[in-house]
Amino acid sequence: MSTVRIFVVDDHTLFRRGLTALLARDPRIEVVGDAADAGEALRRARELAPDVILLDNHLPGVNGVDALPALREAAPAARILMLTVSEDAQDLAAALRGGACGYLLKTIEGDALVAAIMRAMRGESVVADEMTGKLVAAYRNALSPPPAPAPSAPASPLEQLSPREQDILRGIARGASNKEIGRDLGIAETTVKIHVQHVLRKLDVSSRVQAAVIASEHGLL
């Protein structure tokens, strides 16, 4: 299996070096280059043709979110993951609209970052758990008021969830982690993880974000 070629865009030299060293520990990953601003990123991305671009938002001159269209044109085959300190819902929404396949926070653990990169390579969208609730809120605000349900409207998909599973789904929709959900409900984190798997299977979705959107659409919050 060929290595995943990573290109890092961040204006902090120490962070770029530290991230490169961290990712270099995994034999599946090769950091092929880095850049400190959007202009340099465009030039080098076109030259290096990376598989994944890790892009900070707070760059000098042009923000990472604003550079997304040009970066996608410069490296059309690359998947772009935002890796930033910004927890602003508007930045999240703008990044996803601009074509980023994920939005991660710099507080992420190394193993989780590698896992997110691999998920992105499989075509999945990756959003930090802490941002899930904000994503749902932005999605909900963008929706028009729903039409009155027809008499023959299908049953809500939430009806197939047990009361406990609905509690778990509420926690997911708030953006809570498994540990936080377990603490709120007084159950073990491993038990929460099993419930989450059941919820995703029953709702026929593959991610917490999709489950959270369903919860919002059906008024569970």
The pLDDT tens digits of the residues spanning 52-67 come to 999 999 998 889 999 9
Tokens of 148: 């009155």
Q: How many helices (H) and strands (E) does the chain have?
A: 10, 6
Whether residues 102 and 173 fall in one domain: no
> How many structural domains are present in the chain?
2
Q: To the nearest whole percent, how much of the chain has pLDDT over 70?
A: 90
Tokens of 192: 């929460």
Whether residues 100 and 12 fall in one domain: yes
The DSSP result for 158-198, as a single string, is GGGS-HHHHHHHHHHHTT--HHHHHHHHT--HHHHHHHHHH
* pLDDT tens digits, 16-26: 999 999 999 99
* pLDDT tens digits, 94-139: 898 889 999 999 999 999 999 999 999 999 889 988 887 777 766 6
CATH code of the domain in which 161 resides: 1.10.10.10
Residues 6+ apart with CB under 8 A from 104: 81, 82, 83, 84, 113, 116, 126, 127, 128
Domain residues for the domain of 193 are: 157-217
Q: What is the pTM of this model?
A: 0.64
Task: Provide mean pLDDT across the span 168-193.
Answer: 90
- Kindly state whether residue 145 falls inside one of the protein's structural domains: no
